[in-house]
Each structure stands twice: as C-alpha cells, then as structure tokens.
Homo-oligomer: A and B are copies of this chain.
C-alpha cells in the first residue's frame, strides 16, 4: 500500500489565484489546490489528489451498494443507437446526446444513462421469476452535451456516476428495492460527511413516493428546493403542491365591464386600475398538441412552463404565436377572460379556487371585467399546479411560509415501473408458469459531482477541508524547516504509514514553512502535523484543519493519536 505520499514527488501544483473562468467555490478551490485540471469545456482531468478523493467516494458507494445486494457490472459508454430509438430517447434527448458514426456509417451515442441497455442485459440473462429480484450497478463515465457546462466538475459533459437498476416481478418488490436504495444512499451520504435533504421530486398527483432527490444545500447548486422552517417538509420546487380550497363566492357583485384602454399586460392593467396584480387573473394561451388551451393563474404569479409540460406529457406544450389568433374572433389578444371562452379548454392553478373573484379580460379590445367569479362565471376544466413556487408560499404540510434554497442534486431514486420493460418486452416466467412483465427502478449518484458538493459544503476561507472518509490523506505532515525537520517528518511519516495511516508529507526543499502551511490549508487534509521549532526535542504540533486547534505532542504520542 502506498500510504506515504511525498509532496516533493507528487504531481501537485497549487495556485495562489483563482482561475479566471471559475465562478463557484468548488471550481476555484479544486483547481487551485491541484485536484483537477480542465481539458476542454465541461471535460476534466483528475490529478493525483483528485483521483484519491474520487476513489474514496467510489469505495464508499461500492461498499454500501454491495451491502444491499447490488452486483457490480460495467456497461459500455459507446452505445448503438437502436435501443435508444426503441425507447424514444434518441430523439427526446435532443442536443444533450453526443452522437457519432463508426467507420461503416452506423450510428452510435455516448451513454447519458443506461436504462435501455440494462433492460436488454436482464432480458438476456434472466428468464424466470427465480432469477429476480436483482440489483445491478456500475460506476461509469457518462456523457451529456450540456449547453452550459459550468461550476467545474459539478456539471461536466463527461462525468462519473454510480447508476443502478432494480428488476422485480411485483410492485412490492420494486418498493422494497427502492427502500433499500434509499437506505443505502442515506448511509453513503452520511459516511461521506455530506449535508443533504431528501425531497420528493414529483408532484403528489403522480405518486409522491415514486421519486425522491437527495440534495446537498450549497450556493453553487443548480437546483432550487423548498423547505419548511416549521415542519420536515422539503421538495423540489416543481413538486410543491398547493391545496385546492373553495371559498364562499356568493357575496360578490355581478360581473362589471371596465374600460381599460391600452392595458394588454398585467402590469399596465394593475397600474391603470390602481389594484394589486394579485387581484387580477392572468390567462396564458398555449398550444397543447396543437390545440389552444388557456392557463389561468393569479396575476402576480408566473406560469412554470416546465411544470405544465410535465403535467401534460406526453402531449407537447408550445407558446402561441400571432398566426394562431387568425380566424379566432373569440380570442382577443391581451384581453382574454375565461368567462367567454367556450371553445377553449381552461386549466387553472389551485389558487384560482371556486368562489374566488377576479379582474380579467372581457374578451373585447381594451376592455376588462371585474367580479368574475370562479364557478359562477366560468368553469375550470382541469386544476394543475403550474405556478413558479416563491419564497413564503404555504407549506403543503403545515401552512408555514416555505423557504427556497439552492442545492446540488447528488442522488436521485426513481420507481420507473414498466416503461422500459414494455418497450423491450421484458418478461420472465412467473410462478404460475405465465410470463410476468418486470418492473424497474433506476437510481443514481453523481460520484464526480459529490467531490464538488463536498468541496462546496466543507471549504472555508483558507481552502478545502475534507471529511475524514474522503480526504486524500489522513494527515498532512509538514517539514517546517531544514534538514532536521525534513528528516524527522520523513521518519514519522514512515512510522505512520506502517501503522496504516495515509500520510501526505511535505518534504519539499527550498519551500518556506509559510508556503507549506498555506498549501496544507488549501489542500484540506483533516489533520496537519508540523515538524517545526521543537523538532530537535522530538516534539511535533498537531493542528485540526477545521477548528484550527493546536496541540504539542511527542512523536510517540502523535503516532498513537493518529493511528488510533
């Protein structure tokens, strides 16, 4: 075992300044401390220290996947097009997919995720219910041609993932595999020392427990999640729901038409009438599979088109264009109101509850209407949660105002069901001798991304600061002085190494103690042991990288302490 790494020989070059293109903490620090190096946009080289952290994370992931009975395999990254055409994802992925041809002109892709190929493997290898359940996993390089690769190894175009897939004959089996993964992921992230939240990833309408994300709160995160300061509710913002609560609308007066010249937007209307935007009803026209549909939300809220698209999938949602209004006298652009839209399907957010009254378009140029009451003056064809969640929205569980936080998605567990089994006709012979369609789960951990998430969460103003289990060494031993100190440091390093302690020893000649200390703090090994002034007496200084606490110890004490 190579327990002792000498800085004089290790390929690590620290930088005093942040790289010019770095915006996030992990990118700055991992480059400055010599862990990674950019090879191309979103494509990274793992240098020796980075490779060690990466392997430590991979080892923890492997151990916990093995513990739930996962079987490790390795699938190719270069994949034939056909299985992805059958599943429809060859098209769906669009520009995200790296596509290429071989010398014979056959089409290939670089795998972004491997549901199709795993399904084929199991179809080939398993024929009876006795062969299931099975959990297969791999730690493998994946490819996604992100439009804006960013934040260092946090969002690369080439990256490493642990992906696993469960195969069961029953829904209960799938639920069990899902629960096994959920537990394994909790143990993995706890061992790694990551602060994380488990949030539901899909709105309740689609089955609350079918998909959860593991999010590591960090300012550099690309995901926003909502969490409740009063209860334990937390969800991806796309999964936050608002309960439909009808109110008594009988006290509202009759619909009244208002003269509102040149007020085609909510802003112009609210200003003209001197009312808050929240008193108005915003009616967004979209095309769903080519048909015009109106979507109603309170005037102060935004429609989340992604969320709308997910609710209506596989139907395709597009914005309307000027041509769509041609020959449609019922649609007066900028002055649409649900009370006159008989030929148009009306979808509304639950905030537009039965009994609520609104100022909305009168379906005439330059005219609006007030006292337009939901359920009296118009009907909602379908309620869907489609507004962009905002800070302070009520918690679906307890009503307290939600907080919005940024986070890095480090894991995702998903009950896929029979989607891919249907595509590839994955059946096994059941107990009763009849074919049974298999049900699947898919589960991912971003291994390279976890390096970035850990860097983000644990770094301080001096540099990286790794949790013990992932650190590239257990102790960073600094020879702060001349030959005497270097000799002592190398001697102690050897003893520590023999005791199973992973040591990084800074034995560089011609480098000042100050530079060595700064490098040690930047590199972020949890314990820093210094052979300094009192080396002649055999006294070392042990410093905790995180707390900065210092303590003088004899060589024997230091070895006993660190190898404990």
How many whole Å from A479's CB to the nearest CB in chain B? 15
| Residues B69 and A9 in contact, CB atoms below 8 Å apart | yes
Q: Which residues of B contact A51 (CB under 8 A)?
A: 72-74
- Of A2, A46, A126, A127, most buried by chain B (CB within 10 Å of CB) is A2
Tell me the complex Cα distance, A73–B11, Å.
Answer: 10
Per-residue contact bits, chain A 55-93, to B (CB 8 Å; 1 contact, 0 not): 000000000001101011111111110000000000000
Q: Which residues of B contact A37 (CB under 8 A)?
A: 121, 124-125
Interface status of A346 (Cβ within 8 A of chain B): no
Tell me the complex Cα distance, A121–B46, Å.
Answer: 10
Tell me the complex Cα distance, A510–B129, Å.
Answer: 13
How big is chain A's contact interface, by range? 35 or more
Interface status of A131 (Cβ within 8 A of chain B): yes
Q: Which residues of B contact A124 (CB under 8 A)?
A: 13, 37
Interface residues of A in 407-446 (CB under 8 A from B): none
| Residues A72 and B48 in contact, CB atoms below 8 Å apart | yes
Tell me the complex Cα distance, A44–B157, Å.
Answer: 23
Q: Which residues of B contact A125 (CB under 8 A)?
A: 11-13, 34, 37, 47
Tell me the complex Cα distance, A194–B416, Å.
Answer: 44
- Of A46, A78, A141, most buried by chain B (CB within 10 Å of CB) is A78
Q: Which residues of B contact A509 (CB under 8 A)?
A: 130
**Who on chain B is nearest to A95 by CB?**
B103
Which among B9, B71, B75 is the interface contact of A134 at CB below 8 angstroms?
B9
**Who on chain B is nearest to A44 by CB?**
B76
Tell me the complex Cα distance, A495–B1, Å.
Answer: 27
Interface residues of A in 117-163 (CB under 8 A from B): 117, 120-122, 124-127, 130-131, 134, 136, 141, 143, 145, 147, 157-158
Which among B2, B66, B102, B130 is the interface contact of A145 at CB below 8 angstroms?
B102
| Residues B40 and A80 in contact, CB atoms below 8 Å apart | yes
| Residues A131 and B80 in contact, CB atoms below 8 Å apart | no
How many whole Å from A496's CB to the nearest CB in chain B? 17
Tell me the complex Cα distance, A122–B48, Å.
Answer: 12
| Residues B71 and A45 in contact, CB atoms below 8 Å apart | no
Given contacts A66-B2, A80-B39, contact A11 B126 (CB under 8 A): yes
How many whole Å from A124's CB to the nearest CB in chain B? 6
Q: Given A39-B80, A40-B76, list of 11 further CB < 8 A pairs?
A: A8-B130, A11-B71, A13-B124, A34-B125, A40-B78, A45-B73, A48-B72, A78-B143, A95-B103, A100-B110, A103-B147
Those 9 A-B pairs whose CB atoms lie nearest each other, nearest first = A100-B100, A46-B74, A2-B66, A95-B103, A48-B71, A40-B80, A43-B76, A13-B125, A78-B158
